[in-house]
Homo-oligomer: A and B are copies of this chain.
């Protein structure tokens, strides 16, 4: 049954043959007051719900999207996320039961301003009430109940879809296991808001808008809606991607029959996009949805955001894109910080892309970030229902031969039972994996390298994609039991700040570093007058070593005394001979581990 082509006489394109409908059998009370009767939800499903109903993923679409997230078969019309959803795709429809519904207020099947108000027998038009993201998600929740799903494996969505994910996590915390907002935020920036205001102004100022009552008129507010779409398009692309697209033929617009300007190639592109858009979208819906988007506000300060996210019970993954200036990375980081403050399980990756906000929809970017989403759901489905994820129990005979990481074992021994762990510069998660064999309550890594972050997420390790400096200062005092800085001290420029922050955010800290004053180093420098270089952490040339600090054990001891840092335990190692050093460690140890507070 396809409502689009039956009960709705407003012009639409045929975008799916697989739409199903569910009619909410009672009056919907709305967030901002007002009611809606006879709300119809248009939705599509992919794959099969498993017997214990634990494999359902809800996909939330963005402002102009619809239920047709992917084609149902080779003959079907293209979906808007075909690269992400389908058999063998990151959201594999042979494994997961995928649901995507058109959002409330849209014009693509679900009740919206272009629906007939049965009470009046007329189009809602301007009478359509103000709705919020809360209302959209409420409607989705009714659908999920109707489909017999008690708990979703996850919700995922980009942009406005991300807002819906956040709403699910906070309004129906017990009903989702995982939450994956992509290119999203807790609220729009003022800049984003301003673009929306201008877009809506261009619609309401169109003389054919007629205060929203135009459905029966021959002229519709197409010019205003097209202008809004043009503006939107600019904000969805990055400066780089716009240059790539339109620099070559800047002054050669495409041939196009339009009343809009077509002086420049980007001009003809915008005119085309604007005019194409009005064929498939309704101006009233655009106003309704963009207003809902602008009203979404999970908190303007970290405290409010933290309070609002405290209700969530799910695992989290947040993805942002480096060139997205409409939903810039720092906004995803704000959410991540609030979740960490609540001790929620969260990972975050700022995916490198030149595509701007649009990246979440583009095949080339999905090729890159799709695997992260895939890993997230893969690890989620293996978790026990409703439980906070436990560290994996590993074979106690862990292989510690890798790069002579004998220090990992000693670090493990320093960690009290049931500790929460922060691993700074966690690389691909090897240390955290090793720690899974002991009793810890949680572990979070911080890592700057994107591939390492992706590896961690694949292993089910919670990791934050960030540099250490900016990350540490955002944690609360004593937020962790143990912070670890393993063989990273020597590559940190601002040593004092990092150590100060570590001792602030964790009850105790473990620092391991290679001892620069190890005897062979001293000998080499003294006798040859050259930058010392031995195999291991100091096995680099002076001119291209990743190390920028060269601490000796005595330097570190002196530093701690000076800065009033208390050393609770110290361990000195010869990692080559795999033994502890007690005799003159500053001369005889190649590596040191300190437990400080």
Contact = CB atoms under 8 A, between A and B. Distances in A.
Interface in A196-244: 197-198, 200-202, 204-205, 207, 223, 227, 230-231, 233-234, 237, 239, 242-243
A554 B261 CA distance: 67
A552 B529 contact: yes
Contact of A234 (B195, B250, B297, B531): B195
B526 A550 contact: no
Interface in A236-285: 237, 239, 242-243, 245-247, 250, 259-261, 263-264, 266-267, 270-271
A504 to B, nearest CB: 17
A394 interface: no
A250 B190 contact: yes
A197 B266 contact: yes
Contacts of A541: 559
Interface stretch (A106-114, A143-151, A492-500): A492-500
A362 interface: no
Contacts of A586: 529
Nearest to A491: B548
Interface residues of A, number: 72
A543 B549 contact: yes
Q: In the complex, which of the residues A195, A250, A542, A553 has the most CB atoms of chain B within 10 Å of its own CB atom?
A: A542
A554 B525 CA distance: 11
Contact of A542 (B202, B223, B551): B551
Interface string A497-532: 000000000000000000011000010011011110
A530 B516 CA distance: 8
Nearest to A519: B529
A458 interface: no
A104 to B, nearest CB: 19
A496 B266 contact: no
Name, among A189, A201, A517, A542, the residue most crowded by chain B CB atoms within 10 Å (CB to CB).
A201
Contact of A543 (B202, B266, B291, B496): B496
B549 A530 contact: no
Contacts of A231: 198, 231
Given A197-B266, A207-B207, A544-B495, A190 B526 contact: no
A549 B531 CA distance: 9
Interface of A: 189-191, 193-195, 197-198, 200-202, 204-205, 207, 223, 227, 230-231, 233-234, 237, 239, 242-243, 245-247, 250, 259-261, 263-264, 266-267, 270-271, 291, 294, 297, 300, 325, 328, 493-496, 516-517, 522, 525-526, 528-531, 541-544, 548-555, 558-559, 586-587
Given A193-B267, A264-B294, A543-B549, 17 more contacts: A189-B242, A190-B246, A191-B234, A194-B233, A197-B267, A198-B231, A198-B234, A201-B230, A239-B328, A493-B548, A495-B542, A525-B526, A526-B526, A529-B586, A530-B555, A541-B559, A543-B559
5 contacts: A190-B242, A191-B234, A197-B261, A263-B291, A496-B544
